[in-house]
Amino acid sequence: MTANESRTDDGFPPTDHRACQGSAVTLDTAAVQRRLGRVPEWELRQGHLCRTFHCVTFRQSLALVEAIADIAEKLNHHPNLSWENKREVTVVLWTHKMDGLTGLDFDLAADIDTAYSALQVPV
Amino acid sequence: MTANESRTDDGFPPTDHRACQGSAVTLDTAAVQRRLGRVPEWELRQGHLCRTFHCVTFRQSLALVEAIADIAEKLNHHPNLSWENKREVTVVLWTHKMDGLTGLDFDLAADIDTAYSALQVPV
d(CA A10, CA A25): 8
- List, as own/partner pairs, every contact residues B69-76 make where C-beta atoms lie below 8 angstroms and the sequence separation is at least 24, other chains included: B69/A58, B69/A62, B71/B108, B71/B111, B71/B112, B71/B115, B72/A58, B72/B108, B73/A58, B73/A59, B74/B15, B75/B14, B75/B15, B75/B104, B75/B107, B75/B108, B75/B111, B76/B15, B76/B17, B76/B19, B76/B20
A13, A106 contact by CB (below 8 A):
no
Is A65 in Cβ contact with B78 (below 8 Å)?
no
B21, B28 contact by CB (below 8 A):
no
Q: Hey, is the C-beta of A84 within 8 angstroms of any chain B C-beta?
A: yes
- The tens digit of pLDDT for each residue in A7-41 reads 444 444 445 555 555 567 899 999 999 999 999 99
With beta carbons under 8 A apart, name residues in chain A contacting B86. 78
Domains parsed from chain A with CATH numbers: 18-118 (3.30.1360.20)
d(CA A104, CA A17): 9
Query: What is the secondary structure of B42-64 as a DSSP string?
Result: -EEETTEEEEEEE-SSHHHHHHH
| pLDDT of amino acid B17 | 57
d(CA B105, CA A60): 23
Partner residue opposite B78 with nearest CB, options A58, A69, A80: A58
- The tens digit of pLDDT for each residue in A50-76 reads 999 999 999 999 999 999 999 999 999
A42, A79 contact by CB (below 8 A):
no
Q: How sure is the predictor about B98, in pLDDT bands with cuts at 50, 70 and 90?
A: confident
Q: How sure is the predictor about B120, in pLDDT bands with cuts at 50, 70 and 90?
A: confident
| pLDDT of amino acid A122 | 53
Is B58 in Cβ contact with A73 (below 8 Å)?
yes
d(CA B43, CA B119): 21
d(CA B80, CA B120): 22
Average pLDDT for residues A75-84, to the nearest whole number? Answer: 97
A81, A67 contact by CB (below 8 A):
no
A63 → chain B, closest CA residue: B66
Q: Hey, is the C-beta of A80 within 8 angstroms of any chain B C-beta?
A: yes
Is A82 in Cβ contact with B82 (below 8 Å)?
yes
* Beta-carbon contacts below 8 Å between A and B: 38
